């Protein structure tokens, strides 16, 4: 099966349904997030803002926590990360923060064999 958005091959069981489309983990995170990768202005303004604020200036507590876990583990799967973030953090919170961090080029998703790991950029 292929992702309806980016056309990459999705391993069986990894596909995500969203509004009738079949998406890979990556694109699914993007559609859940208000910041879209296809919007060059979002990336541009994030970079500009970061330059103004300094590299640590604009990350939220939750983002800092995510970066800490990824740094400590060298990369985890999404459900592991969610678990380590603890109670009260939803899948959508994670998707939003992860997407924001990705726009800052602090994190990315990496495919290792059949599994997708979230890791530092
Ligand atoms: Zn995709």
Ligand 1 centre distance from Cα of residue 52 (Å): 32
Q: Between the CA of residue 71 and those of 9, 18, 66, 92, 121, what are the distances in Å?
A: 28, 30, 8, 22, 10
Ligand 1 centre distance from Cα of residue 5 (Å): 5
Predicted confidence at residue 60, as pLDDT, reads 84
Q: Within a domain: residue 29?
A: no
Domain total for the chain? 1
Structural domain harbouring 88? 59-120
Q: What is the pLDDT along the chain (121 residues), one digit of tens a residue?
A: 899 989 999 988 889 998 889 999 888 888 877 654 555 555 555 555 555 455 555 678 899 899 999 999 999 999 999 999 988 899 999 999 999 999 888 999 999 988 999 999 9
Give the domain CATH number at 105. Answer: 1.10.10.10
pTM over cut 0.85: no
CB of 9 closer than 8 Å to CB of 2: yes
Predicted confidence at residue 34, as pLDDT, reads 60
Phi-psi region of 33 (alpha: psi -120 to 50; beta: other; left: phi over 0): beta
Ligand 1 centre distance from Cα of residue 15 (Å): 9
């Amino acid at each position: 099966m292929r992702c309806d958005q980016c056309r990459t091959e999705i391993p069986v069981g990894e596909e995500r349904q969203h509004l009738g489309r079949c998406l890979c983990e990556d694109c699914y995170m993007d559609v859940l997030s208000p910041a879209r990768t296809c919007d060059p202005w979002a990336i541009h303004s994030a970079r500009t803002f970061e330059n103004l604020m300094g590299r640590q200036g604009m990350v939220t507590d939750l983002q800092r926590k995510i970066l800490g876990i990824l740094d400590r583990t060298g990369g985890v799967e999404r459900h592991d990360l969610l678990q380590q973030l603890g109670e009260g953090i939803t899948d959508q919170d994670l998707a939003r923060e992860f997407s924001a961090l990705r726009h800052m080029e602090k994190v990315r998703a990496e495919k290792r064999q059949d599994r997708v790991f979230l890791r530092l950029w």
